[in-house]
Structure 1
């Protein structure tokens, strides 16, 4: 059975602990990269990563997007959203459906 983890600044990911998700605070991109690589080897199937950390480890995120496991999901931090996670969702929906069904319509 796969485990679930969350990586990011402590204040943003601490709430995940209350619902049974393992939390791994990271201060910078290097630390986050090491944590994510370690989690991937330790049978984590889903890893939530805050957008503020993800922007510093784009190559690591892209490397795992090419693999089935672990799935890396970008989430906003307590400082707000950078729009990176939502942009990824829109791209994946457009790829799967053929058009972005979430796009705002002016009609």
Structure 2
């Protein structure tokens, strides 16, 4: 990761607060629209990695697809304390399949 990039975490408050302890910037949101606005703001503010909770990712699939086509920021989906929806794992499998040419996971 290039020097100067920041890391942000966007999602519901309970799921993202622990990330503050390891030095990431955290942004609590309550709706998919708020998540969309925060992600756009972070993308314009030199964030190289944005972690997003899966519960909000499923509300804004077009935004996720948009940033998938960009070099930065990398939007990485994470499960919440409520469990995972497997959206993040499906994305990893799709990217591995694209890179390798087969589903090896």
Q: Cα RMSD over matched residues? A: 0.5
Structure 2 segments unaligned to the other structure (5+ residues)? none
Alignment correspondent of 2:56: 53
Task: Name the CA distance, whole Å, in 1 between partners of 2:24 and 2:104.
Answer: 31
Please report the TM-score for the alignment, with normalisation by the length of structure 2.
0.95
Deviations 1:64-106 (A, max 9, x none): 110000000001011100000000000000110111111xxxx
Please report the TM-score for the alignment, with normalisation by the length of structure 1.
0.94
Please say which structure displays the higher CA radius of gyration. Answer: 1
Q: How many residues in Structure 1 have an aligned counterpart in Structure 2?
A: 102
Structure 1 segments unaligned to the other structure (5+ residues)? 103-107
Task: Name the CA distance, whole Å, in 1 between partners of 2:68 and 2:44.
Answer: 15
Deviations 1:29-83 (A, max 9, x none): 1110000000000000000000000011111111111000000000101110000
